[in-house]
Amino acid sequence: MADIEHIKRLVYVSIPFAMLSQDYLSAFVSHGLNAEIGLDAQTLQGTDMERFRVVKRIFSDAGLRVTLHGPFIDMSPGSPDPEVRALTMKRFEDVIRIAEIFEPTSIVLHAGYEQKRYGFVKEVWFENSLATWQWVAGAVSGQDTMVCLENVFEEHPSYLLPLFEELGASGIKFCLDIGHQAAFSQARLEEWLSILGRFVGQLHLHDNNGKADQHKAIGSGTIDFNFVFKWLRDHFTEPPIITLEPHREEDLLPSLKWLEDNWPW
C-alpha cells in the first residue's frame, strides 16, 4: 500500500487556470499537488503570456509537474464546416503555444464525437478529425509532451477505435475519463477497456451515480474503481498519467485516501 504523499507525487489534480489565484497556487504548492491546468477560451484570449510564465515558475520551483487541458466547449475537430474547424484549430494552436511555456507531461483535448450530432456525416467527421489530430501531433512533435484525446459523450468505444488506430504512429493516446464513461456511455467499462485499453495514455478519475457527470470523490458513487485498478495492474507495469477531477475541495482528500488504500503498483 502506498502512502498518501507518494500518491500525491504521482497523480495530477485538475484546476482551471482562472482559479489559480494566489490562494489556490499556495494551496497546490503547500500540499505538493501536481496540476492539470484547464485552459478555456476566456483564459486563452485574456491572459498575458507573462502570467503563464509566472505560474510555470511557481510550480517548477516547488518541484511540481503540470498537464494541460485544452478548451472543449464548442470545439469540433471533425466539423464539416471549415470555419468551425479552423476556429477549433486556432484554439488548439493557442494551447500548444502555452505548452511551450509549461512543458506539460500531457495535453488533453476532447475527441468530440457525438453520434446524435455527427452520425449522418460520420465519414466526413472522421476524415476531418484525423487531419486535425495529425496537425496537432506535428505541432507538438518538438516537445516532450503526450497528446491525449478524451471521451465525453461518445456512447460506444467503437466510434473512436478507427481514429486511434489511424493515429497510433503519431503518438497520440487515449485519455479514458471514467466518470464520463459511466454517465454517458451505453457500453460497459469492460468493453471500453477491451476495445480501447491498448491506446490508454491517461486516466481522468472521478465518481458519479451513473446518470450524471457529478465529479464526486472516488468511492462515493457507483463506479467500480476496484475493477478499473485491477485491469490497470494486469495491463500496466507502471501507472499511466492519472488526473483526479473533483469539483469540490472536500472531494480531493477522500480520492487521495482511496488511492492510498488501493494503489496497485
Q: What would the pLDDT profile of 136-176 be if each residue is shown by its tens digit?
A: 999 999 899 999 999 999 999 999 999 999 999 999 999 99
What is the three-class DSSP state of 153?
coil
Cell numbers linked to 132: 486535425
Distance (Å, whole) CA 104 – CA 109: 13
Q: How many domains does the chain have?
A: 1
- Residue 245 C-alpha cell reads as 477531477
Segment 3-33, tens digit of pLDDT: 999 999 999 999 999 999 878 999 999 999 9
First to last CA, the chain: 8
The DSSP H or E segment spanning 66 is strand 66-69
pLDDT digits (tens, 9 = 90+) for 189-228: 999 999 999 999 999 999 999 999 999 999 999 999 999 9
pLDDT at 245 over 90: yes
Domain residue limits at 123 = 4-262
Mean pLDDT score of the chain, rounded to an integer?
A: 97
pTM: 0.97
Residue 1 pLDDT grade (very low, low, confident, very high; cuts 50, 70, 90): low
CATH of the domain at 156: 3.20.20.150
Q: What is the pLDDT of residues 71-80, one digit of tens each?
A: 999 999 999 9
In this prediction, residue 54 carries a pLDDT of: 97
